[in-house]
Amino acid sequence: MGAHAVRFGAPGAVPREAPATGPLASPGVARLVGFVPLAGFAALQWGALLTPKADGSLLLGVLAAAAAGGLLLVTGRDSRRGVRIAGAAGATVGVFVFALVIAGVPLRLLKPAGWDELASGLGQGIESFPAITVPYRGVDEWVRHALVASGVMLTGAAALIAFWPRPKARATGHPIAAAVALGALYTIPIVEHGPKAPYLGGAVFCMLLAAFLWLERMRADQLGVASACLLAVTVAAGLVAPHLDRSSPWLDYEHIAEDLQPEKAATFSWNHSYGPMSWPRDGREVLRIQASRQSYWKTVNLDEFDGLRWIDSARVASVVDTELRHRDWLETIRVVDRGVRTRQFVGAGHTLRVLPGGPGAVQVEPGTFETTGKPLAPGSSYQAQVYVPRASGRQLRTAGTRYPEFANNYLAVDLPRTPSHTDARAVRFATYGSHRPAGADYRNGFQAGGGEQAIRASAYARMYALAQALKAQTKTPYAFVQAVLERVQNGATYSETPPPARVPLMDFMFGNRLGYCQQFSGSMALLLRMGGVPARVASGFSPGRFDRKRGEFVVRDDDAHSWVEAYFPGIGWETFDPTPAASPARSQLSDVGPSGPTQAAQRPNFGLGQAGDRPTLAGDPRARLAARKGTNWTLIATLGVLALLLLAAAVIVGRRGRLPGGPLAPEVAELQRALHRTGRTPPPATTLSALERTLGGSDAALGYLRAVRAHRYGGAPRGPTTAHRRALRRELASGLGFAGRLRAWWAVPPVIGRRGPYTG
């Protein structure tokens, strides 16, 4: 061929008619081809950790991970260190950002100003992992965000590990380490909720894993034998595996983990004891509650006074104990358990029902619910519909005294056995405003008119006299409630270590005047019943601190509290809190107490319920999971298209290093690649002179070929110039329309900076 006989086949290349014995594809592309189906299969298992499944989000994460891997393949081959660093940084940051966006994290939290809230929310979700039941049906959005994000990040981490450039080793990534990460993506969900078809799923995973690890090493003539061997091993394993399966685990890792895991959940005993305060007060976060307005978060009603203390009792057997007359007092709250273990659901006011989607619930008495299965624990979440009266002072003053029949259940008081000078066991007081005498329950039966004599002969004679005196000074039940609240607070001192007493509430009111929320609320409720106002003690938590960024109330263990609920006809159970502000329940409603009833907090409306601040009625199907946001399919589709484009671009650009017939010298490699990409792959024996006759259509295009010849054979210091490359691009696109121009740009792309031994 002479000096111009440049052959476009690699030296020693086999004829094109011979069977191909080289690799199926370049190692990087082959690994990427094996990565996508393996990661997709594992991601589908991870998506099943949630109900409804997050398959779409996880598969979108696989595309993002593959795009990151393709970016590493392209930039990792570049001789410039800055390009490799930029590619690695872009892939890493892209995986992290894509994971958060795909998981549904609000975009505002990706800005630096929202990083604190983002870290707090993700931490909340991750901390809940050990306690949640999978597939997760709860309503804690941060658990969902964290589950999806962790799956996408694990997929992305596997891609980064698999395709990370190693210039010194002249290799790419660590496929075995990446396989371990993908194995975790597959096996963690299997361990958590079990596979539906364990042997079939395992066989599929085995074959996909083998393809990922060994496809890049296979030659075309080895593919058939390798596939047959893999299939045989998989079938054999499928036959042997059922015989190795045991009813008990070989290693009970769950039991070991439970033994090693420290106890993080606080427990509370809500019945009154009046001894020194003993419940947890570490300032640990126990609840996060999203509600349209602040409230006291109730766990139980202490509806029975057993003679010495207020306790939760099954004595109240009525199905309903409130009137639901005000639609605007109905709302839906969302509760996330962050650090308490209890069978009682935390609600507000009167809980109407626990909505589907959370733990199983059963109503144990009017307004309170318990779990039907395991107790609530950190990580549990649910939504509840509640009725929380927020009456104005005028409404309470004009409520009247026409109490419903069930209100009589909250006017009884048991009497202590000692000290006592009566055989009566309990007294039932008449409602405020009526002229009926109080009745008494004796061993031989109930006496309609013996209540006053019995109470005056008991240890509570002085308490009863005080209630009657306060009642005589008022004209309405609301005025009586306010008078009692003021009297309970007047002269009392808050103390967490009150001295022991035989009759604690009498000692608190007329003795040492020392106590905490139990003494204050217990005394007030007792006085109200003695005056004819239906009353009870409620136990749970005070409102907590409002997190404006998250739109949630943060409740801590030192917010555990007791308060009083008094019943008003046509309104329901209204909250009153006689405990001074110095109590450990540091976030009481500021406008509850002597100054007036509960008012709506001055804070933004979160749009719970039907629309804005118009909550749905009990039983309305529109209330079901009202606060859960729908899937943003537009965003997911946009991200999916973007990820596909990035992946396609990475694969296409990655083929720039694949030269037909093998690589040639750098001077002619670009020309060989350009001809191949435009569908003009020259035969192996084609020379530069022959190309001048067939390709040359302009002086500039001919100039490109002559510059290559001069650089290759004549020792010229530079190859084709930018003008030469631009002319060659026009020649390659000639007559092919818009698609041809795009293809020509791909064949001879613009080059910035120095590439190889010459610049273009």
From the list 444, 440, 443, the residue with the least C-alpha distance to 428 is 440
Q: In angstroms, rounded to a whole number, what is the distance separating the alpha carbons of residues 191 and 49? A: 11
Q: State the amino acid at position 713 in one-letter form.
A: Y
Q: In angstroms, rounded to a whole number, what is the distance separating the alpha carbons of residues 360 and 374? A: 9
Structure tokens at 591: 């406008």
- Give the mean pLDDT of 69-76: 88
Residues facing residue 515 across a β-bridge: 494
Q: What residues contact 383, with CB distance under 8 A and at least 6 apart?
A: 139, 332, 333, 334, 335, 354, 355, 357, 358, 625, 626, 627
- The pLDDT tens digits for 731-758 are 777 766 776 777 777 777 765 444 443 4
Scored b (16 or more CB within 10 A) or e, 267-284 reads ebebbbebeebeebeeee
Query: Residue 717 domain-assigned?
Result: yes
Q: Are residues 230 and 166 located together in one domain of the fold?
A: no
Structure tokens at 116: 């604190």
- For residue 261, pLDDT over 80 is answered with no
Q: Are residues 222 and 183 located together in one domain of the fold?
A: no
- For residue 7, pLDDT over 60 is answered with no
Highest mean pLDDT among 128-132, 140-144, 215-219, 534-538: 534-538
- For residue 53, pLDDT over 60 is answered with yes
| pLDDT-based confidence at residue 553 (cuts at 50, 70, 90) | very high
Q: Are residues 326 and 187 located together in one domain of the fold?
A: no
pLDDT at residue 700, rounded to an integer = 58
Report percent pLDDT > 90 for the chain. 35
For the chain, what percentages of helix, strand and coil (3-state, to nearest 5) are there? Answer: 45, 15, 40
| pLDDT-based confidence at residue 378 (cuts at 50, 70, 90) | confident
Structure tokens at 573: 């159970």
Distance of CA 627 to the CA centre of its chain: 13
Query: Residue 450 domain-assigned?
Result: yes
- For residue 39, pLDDT over 90 is answered with yes
561 touches 578 (CB < 8 A):
no
The dihedral sign for the CA sequence 405, 406, 409, 411: negative
Structure tokens at 454: 């019995």
- Identify the burial level of 236 via C-beta atoms within 10 angstroms of its C-beta, where 0-12 means exposed, 13-18 middle and 19 or more buried: exposed
Q: Are residues 221 and 308 located together in one domain of the fold?
A: no
Q: Are residues 84 and 181 located together in one domain of the fold?
A: yes
Angle between helices 141-163 and 55-76 (to 10 degrees): 30
pLDDT at residue 736, rounded to an integer = 67
pLDDT at residue 185, rounded to an integer = 92
Q: In angstroms, rounded to a whole number, what is the distance separating the alpha carbons of residues 301 and 308? A: 17
Query: Residue 572 domain-assigned?
Result: yes
- For residue 63, pLDDT over 50 is answered with yes
- For residue 559, pLDDT over 60 is answered with yes
- Give the mean pLDDT of 341-365: 91
Q: Which helix (H) or strand (E) holds 187?
A: helix 175-193
Which pairs with CB-CB distance under 8 Å and at least 24 residues apart come from 593-602? 593/485, 593/489, 594/482, 594/485, 594/486, 594/489, 596/393, 597/390, 597/391, 597/392, 597/393, 597/396, 598/295, 598/388, 598/389, 598/390, 598/574, 599/390, 600/293, 600/390, 601/293, 601/294, 601/546
Q: Please tell me the least confidently modeled range out of 441-450, 465-474, 649-658.
A: 649-658
Query: Residue 261 domain-assigned?
Result: no
Structure tokens at 246: 């045991």
Q: Please tell me the least confidently modeled range out of 48-57, 341-350, 731-740.
A: 731-740
Q: In angstroms, rounded to a whole number, what is the distance separating the alpha carbons of residues 476 and 432? A: 8
Q: In angstroms, rounded to a whole number, what is the distance separating the alpha carbons of residues 36 and 43? A: 10
Q: Higher confidence at residue 675 or residue 690?
A: 675
Question: How many CA atoms lie less than 13 Å away from 560 in the CB half-sphere?
Answer: 24
Structure tokens at 546: 């409002």
Query: Residue 157 domain-assigned?
Result: yes
SS3 552: strand
Task: Residue 481: give the domain boundaries.
Answer: 287-619
Q: In angstroms, rounded to a whole number, what is the distance separating the alpha carbons of residues 571 and 567? A: 8
Q: In angstroms, rounded to a whole number, what is the distance separating the alpha carbons of residues 287 and 587? A: 14
Q: State the amino acid at position 715 in one-letter form.
A: G
User: What average pLDDT does the chain have?
Assistant: 78
- The pLDDT tens digits for 278-309 are 777 778 889 999 999 999 999 999 999 999 99
Q: In angstroms, rounded to a whole number, what is the distance separating the alpha carbons of residues 348 and 291? A: 10
- Give the mean pLDDT of 241-249: 65
Q: Are residues 337 and 387 located together in one domain of the fold?
A: yes
Q: In angstroms, rounded to a whole number, what is the distance separating the alpha carbons of residues 96 and 113? A: 17
Q: State the amino acid at position 514 in one-letter form.
A: L
pLDDT at residue 630, rounded to an integer = 44
Q: In angstroms, rounded to a whole number, what is the distance separating the alpha carbons of residues 455 and 435? A: 17
- For residue 106, pLDDT over 50 is answered with yes
pLDDT at residue 418, rounded to an integer = 73
From the list 14, 18, 30, the residue with the least C-alpha distance to 658 is 30
φ, ψ for residue 685 (rounded to 5)? -95, 5
φ, ψ for residue 575 (rounded to 5)? -85, 135
Question: How many CA atoms lie less than 13 Å away from 140 in the CB half-sphere?
Answer: 29
302 touches 538 (CB < 8 A):
yes
pLDDT at residue 137, rounded to an integer = 78
Structure tokens at 282: 């570490």
| pLDDT-based confidence at residue 492 (cuts at 50, 70, 90) | very high
- Cα distances (Å, whole numbers) of residue 521 to 391, 484, 538, 565: 20, 11, 9, 9
483 touches 524 (CB < 8 A):
no
pLDDT at residue 757, rounded to an integer = 39
pLDDT at residue 411, rounded to an integer = 94
Query: Residue 760 domain-assigned?
Result: no
Residues, the chain: 760
Structure tokens at 14: 């086999």
Query: Residue 707 domain-assigned?
Result: yes
pLDDT at residue 665, rounded to an integer = 56
Q: Higher confidence at residue 637 or residue 581?
A: 581
Q: How many helices (H) and strands (E) does the chain have?
A: 21, 23
From the list 536, 540, 541, 531, the residue with the least C-alpha distance to 521 is 536
- The pLDDT tens digits for 572-626 are 999 999 998 766 565 555 433 333 333 333 222 222 222 222 233 333 333 333 3
Question: Which segments of 35-180 are extended strands (E)?
Answer: 165-166, 171-172
| pLDDT-based confidence at residue 9 (cuts at 50, 70, 90) | very low
Q: Are residues 186 and 202 located together in one domain of the fold?
A: no
Scored b (16 or more CB within 10 A) or e, 335-354 reads bbbbbbbbebbbbbbbbbbb
pLDDT at residue 600, rounded to an integer = 33
Report percent pLDDT > 70 for the chain. 72
287 touches 336 (CB < 8 A):
yes
Q: Which DSSP state fits 54?
A: -
Residue with tokens 């995973």: 205
Residue with tokens 């006809």: 569
- The pLDDT tens digits for 380-416 are 899 999 999 999 999 999 999 999 988 988 999 999 8
* Strand pairing category for 493-494 and 514-515: parallel
From the list 320, 392, 317, 311, the residue with the least C-alpha distance to 351 is 320
Structure tokens at 170: 């002249």
Q: Which DSSP state fits 342?
A: B
pLDDT at residue 140, rounded to an integer = 82
Q: Are residues 180 and 223 located together in one domain of the fold?
A: no
Give the chain's domain count: 4
- Give the mean pLDDT of 447-474: 91
Q: Higher confidence at residue 469 or residue 20?
A: 469
Cis peptide before 27 (omega within 30 of 0): no
pLDDT at residue 512, rounded to an integer = 92
Q: Are residues 333 and 417 located together in one domain of the fold?
A: yes
Q: Are residues 82 and 66 located together in one domain of the fold?
A: yes
Q: Please tell me the least confidently modeled range out of 67-81, 394-408, 622-636.
A: 622-636
Query: Residue 277 domain-assigned?
Result: no
Structure tokens at 474: 């008022």
Q: Are residues 640 and 666 located together in one domain of the fold?
A: no
Q: Higher confidence at residue 295 or residue 713?
A: 295
Q: Are residues 486 and 387 located together in one domain of the fold?
A: yes
- For residue 88, pLDDT over 60 is answered with yes
The DSSP string of 354-376 is EPTTSS-EEEEETTEEEESSSPB
Residues facing residue 572 across a β-bridge: 568
